[in-house]
Structure 1
Amino acid sequence: MPVTCVGAADPDEATIIEEACRLADTGRYADFTDIEHVLRFGYGMAGARAILDRYPVRRMLNHRCADAREEPASCGGESASVEIISGIAASPGRRGR
């Protein structure tokens, strides 16, 4: 049975998986390890490691992370592009420093 973002038997497990999916879909994280770190240390979800460190969950999150990074709109869209372009535009003035 494939792992989805809903349908976990344990409410805590469902919350962790749903939040992990939401984070993966932002395109800001490389893989499940980044998400696990955010959930454990940023959100205080101590059980995140045990839930996310299962092959079907890892695989699903890694795929979602990769898919989200491939779609510019899910990575912050225009604001992310503006930030990157602003950094590039500022670079020439810093040459020789």
Structure 2
Amino acid sequence: MNVQIQTVHFDADERLLEHVQKRLDKLKTFHDRITGVEVYLRLENLSQKVRDKVAEIKVFIPKHALFAKHESKVFEESFDEAFDSMVSQIKRQKEKMIV
């Protein structure tokens, strides 16, 4: 499984990257044919003082690409919400393959 983590408009600290990587390692338990994962962590509304933290996750399975996005005031929360959404999408996709 090829994993790419990209940060846009900021440099992520080691703690955030470890959190993301630890959660992504769990994806293998939900589907064994995941070929790649792309994570984008982005700051939105750069002109305003309050910046929204956006997390986007793309998961590539043969013949399918799944996408989840969430934004909040904390990167960990944004990523966790997007990750939970991605897990449910992966489970639904795997059930469709079985049927």
Scaled by the length of structure 1, what TM-score is found?
A: 0.30
More helix by share: 1
Between Structure 1 and Structure 2, the one with more strand by share is 2
Which has the larger Rg?
Answer: 1
